[in-house]
Chain A
Amino acid sequence: MPEPALVVEDYSFWYKVGEGERVLALDDVSFEVAKGELLLVLGTSGAGKSTLALNLVGIYPDFFGGWNQGRILVNHPRRGVVNRRQLDQGERFRTVNMLFQNPEDQIVTLTVEEEIGFALENYLVPVAEIGARIDRALDLVGLDGFRERSTLKLSGGEKQRVALAAMLALEPSVLILDEPTSNLDPVGTAEVLEAVDRIRERLDITLILVEHEVDEVFNKVDRVLLVDGLKVLGPYAPRTFLEERGLAVRDHMGLWIPQAAEVALGLRQAGLDLGPLPLTGDELVTALRAGSGTNGARASAGPAPQAATQPLRTPGETVIELRDVEFSYPSRSAVLHGLNLDIRRGELLAVVGQNGSGKSTLAAQLNGILKPTRGEVLVHGKPTTSYRFTDLARRVAYIFQMPEKQFIRNSVHDEMAHGLSALKLPSDQIAARVDDFLQRVRLAERRDASPYLLSHGQKRRLSVACMVIAEPEVVILDEPTFGQDWQQAQRLMDLLRRLADDGAAVVFITHDMRLVAQYADRCAALCDGQVIYDGTPAGLFGRPEVLARTKLKAPPVYHFSRELLGEPVLRTSDLQYRIQEHARG
């Protein structure tokens, strides 16, 4: 049995919700993490992954209250395995520590050097030692030469790596990374995951990673822990986890699983056993080429596949035209440079590109939040400058990434009714439509709740519902699936699909290429304020020079399907269908 880094024994935790009232959040949880291990924690949005992480660090119940029962033992560098309670606060945080989801929440000083040295200074580390620790930590996260940089001027990925370096400088035995890539674009995500690889290579540290980006990490982790409601299941070996629970967690819990495993599990269900479950595209290709178990495949009853090279949907009427649009913020260089784009009815248009490429500025041009400094944005042929702002806002709905920014009323019901009242509809019509939407977005039971007290998924659904209830012609969403699991993301995208099918133009900004592959009819890739690609998602993934300039990555299924079939497909279900067809002969 390997030496443990962390042992959780019969641990339960209750949130404090009022005077003397409590709600159970973790029920009789027991598991052990071995020293040097990389443990992946999976669970639906709101399942309690962060609650578990905050309990492991000791933020709950020590700082934010609540009740706990059971024991958490940690492997202290000098004292061995001890109950966390026996360590003082400083020792506890230097043994188990945590990196938060949003680097903005963690950065508290003005330069990189100060940021990394901050905790060391607080823990009275001798000044002579601090400099060397900062250099070591920066080297580990691949930020040599960033010591003097301002923290205010770093990209998202750089900020997250600085926050990671600040944790590493403390030299904890166990470091918990709570969805460290969820705020980042693909290039930022890759940077952070490369840093994790480097840390594992060079340090004897135990990492607990809470992450949705399973395709990138599943083949790297040692074991997988599943947070399911109040319970924690596992840890499992990754392959065993997917063999035993892969389809169940995808279909019933709505979690992402690696696309290669998803295809293999689907094939297994259809009678095609590929032997040991592949975790990566390469493993899947090898297993299929070995031809193991392809006999006896049943005919597929699934939907006919969509070819990746499928042409664009027949475009609907153009609602918005951007013509040679230039825009710059005061005292800054131009953000948009001669940008041209059409927004059409009936289409789901994905706007993609790395952070800072001008996506949000582009979106803000569409409903007149920002006005072009040169060129024109035409809505139904009329420039946005000739519309009253509120009239334009009713036609072109804008939905922020952070749903809370959008709430202006005191209850879920009033939030939804607000847009309809503005249209001066009769009260009985307003009531009927609000009731209908409350059902559609599954918020009927929370109709009188304050919008601020909903869960993240509920807030997102409400923010979308209160903007689309008034039936705008164009809906713009900034990162609509941010922080949501696969099931929630799918439900939201299905809702947007229906809106587009009903004739609205839907524009969504995203970093999630799986989502683009599955849902987008058209893609506009931005680089340095210009549209450098406008076409199908498959066309985008087939243009390596565009991907390189925009720092985007095609989803894994695109690559391994091309290797297998000679032509790419964008969805795992389509690949599975093609393989089954092939197996049937």
Chain B
Amino acid sequence: MDNLELSYRHADSAFHRMSPFAKMLYITAVSLAAIFNSSLYVGAFLFLFTLVCAAFFSGVSLRTYWTFGKVIMPFILILALIFPFFYKEHLTVGSTSIAIHTPIKDLSWSALGFGALLALRFLAIGVSGLTFAFTTHPTDLVQNFSKRGLDYRFVHAPVLGLVLFPSFLELARDISTTQRIRDLGQDRNWLARKLLRLKHLAFALLVLGLRRGQTQAMALDIRGYGAHKTRTFMRPMPNSRAGIVFGWACFAAGLLYLVLQLGNLSGKMPWDLG
């Protein structure tokens, strides 16, 4: 798990100097454009744009991005290879001539393009999301949204999640090992055994998680969590003017593209599989 620790990487880059809010605007813009996009060219542009941002402006090596990218790559390949079989002429590019003959269905160039579009969509969102995770200190996130009027306890919850996630995973792994050691459901068929083990895992995680949560809540209370409506933040929050301009510019462009796309859609959304 060490390599998959989804946490902040210390560096001094354009993205590190941006406020979390500005980066949220960037991600929102990329996501809006990617989700509502029906053009392969725009999809490729979005992916390249996020890749350039990651490579040259995030201060994090592409190798680190790849550590995560390779984990979700099978999922993206599945999208790219399976969804062409469900293609219903959603794309604005690609000819209808047959590109590949398969035993299930003959696939056109536009069907293959549809698969590629789906893959590019998730790649763009994934890369921009990783840029956000690698360049945003969790405390800055809490601070930024707290200063924008959100209760800091609410925003701190994801940070707690990041801290607790590894131990929760370890607990789940140990419980699964116990189920194997003690052969839970040995007298049942494969499916019934899996269901029983899943039910037990959920119950054990709930009981042990609640107990742990109670202790954590106690630990938070005695350290003044929620004692006041606000709190001080010792860490100065990055808030570059260029970052804000970039964030709003991306957001405006994303919004504009969305409006144009909604106007051009002929009753079918690009993700509607019909």
Contact = CB atoms under 8 A, between A and B. Distances in A.
B212 A105 contact: yes
Interface in B177-236: 177-184, 186-187, 200, 204, 207-208, 212, 214-228, 230-235
Contact of B138 (A110, A369, A418): A110
Contact of B224 (A93, A151, A331, A390): A93
Contact of A118 (B166, B180, B184, B223): B223
Interface string B1-40: 0110101100000000000000000000000000000000
A152 B181 contact: no
Nearest to A62: B221
A105 B219 contact: yes
A367 B215 contact: no
Contacts of A105: 212, 215-216, 219
Contacts of A331: 2-3
Contacts of A398: 181
A126 B232 contact: yes
Contact of B183 (A64, A152, A390): A390
A407 B211 CA distance: 15
A57 B222 contact: yes
Given A104-B167, A109-B163, A393-B182, A369 B208 contact: no
A166 B212 CA distance: 20
Q: Which of A117, A170, A393, A405 has the most CB of B within 10 A?
A: A405
B186 A100 contact: no
Nearest to A404: B208
A118 B3 CA distance: 27
A458 B228 CA distance: 41
A400 B218 CA distance: 26
A166 B223 contact: yes
B106 interface: no
Contacts of A419: 182
Interface in A32-82: 54, 57, 59, 63-64
Contact of A123 (B3, B138, B219, B224): B224
A404 B228 CA distance: 36
A122 to B, nearest CB: 4
A393 B182 CA distance: 7
B178 A93 contact: no
A231 B226 CA distance: 34
Q: Which of B5, B182, B227 has the most CB of A within 10 A?
A: B182
B273 interface: no
A315 interface: no
A452 interface: yes
A106 interface: yes
A523 to B, nearest CB: 26
A167 B70 CA distance: 42
B223 to A, nearest CB: 4
B255 interface: no
A113 B228 CA distance: 21
A188 B73 CA distance: 42
Interface size class of A (residues with CB under 8 A): 35 or more
Contact of A110 (B8, B187, B207): B8
B244 interface: no
Q: Which of B162, B187, B224, B230 has the most CB of A within 10 A?
A: B224
A406 interface: yes
Contacts of A98: 222
A124 B8 contact: no
Contacts of B180: 369, 389-390, 393
Contacts of A59: 218, 221-222
Nearest to B200: A408
Q: Which of A59, A131, A152, A422 has the most CB of B within 10 A?
A: A152
Given A100-B219, A106-B219, A389-B180, A127 B174 contact: no
A434 interface: no
Contacts of A402: 174
A90 interface: yes
Contacts, number: 136
Nearest to B143: A121
Contacts of A273: none
B266 to A, nearest CB: 48
Interface string B233-261: 11100000000000000000000000000
Given A109-B159, A419-B182, A400 B228 contact: no
Contact of A122 (B181, B183, B224): B224
A13 to B, nearest CB: 16
Interface string B112-148: 0000000000000000000000000011000000000
Contacts of B187: 421
Nearest to B156: A108
Contacts of A407: 204
A123 B234 contact: no
A93 B222 contact: yes
B53 interface: no
B72 interface: no
Given A332-B2, A408-B200, A119 B233 contact: no
B51 interface: no
Contacts of A174: none
Contacts of B178: 400, 405-406, 408
A89 interface: yes
Contact of B171 (A90, A405, A422): A405
B114 to A, nearest CB: 35
Contacts of B200: 408
Nearest to A133: B234
Contact of B163 (A107, A117, A393): A107
B160 interface: yes
Nearest to A123: B224
A422 B221 contact: no
23 contacts: A57-B222, A59-B222, A89-B227, A90-B227, A100-B218, A100-B219, A104-B167, A108-B160, A109-B139, A109-B159, A110-B7, A114-B235, A119-B223, A122-B228, A125-B232, A152-B163, A369-B180, A390-B186, A400-B174, A404-B208, A405-B208, A406-B178, A418-B182
Given A122-B224, A390-B183, A407-B204, 18 more contacts: A57-B222, A59-B221, A93-B227, A102-B215, A106-B219, A107-B163, A108-B159, A108-B223, A119-B223, A120-B232, A121-B232, A121-B234, A122-B225, A124-B232, A170-B223, A369-B180, A405-B174, A452-B207
List 7 A-B pairs, minimum CB-CB distance, nearest first. A122-B224, A119-B223, A393-B181, A105-B215, A130-B234, A90-B227, A123-B224
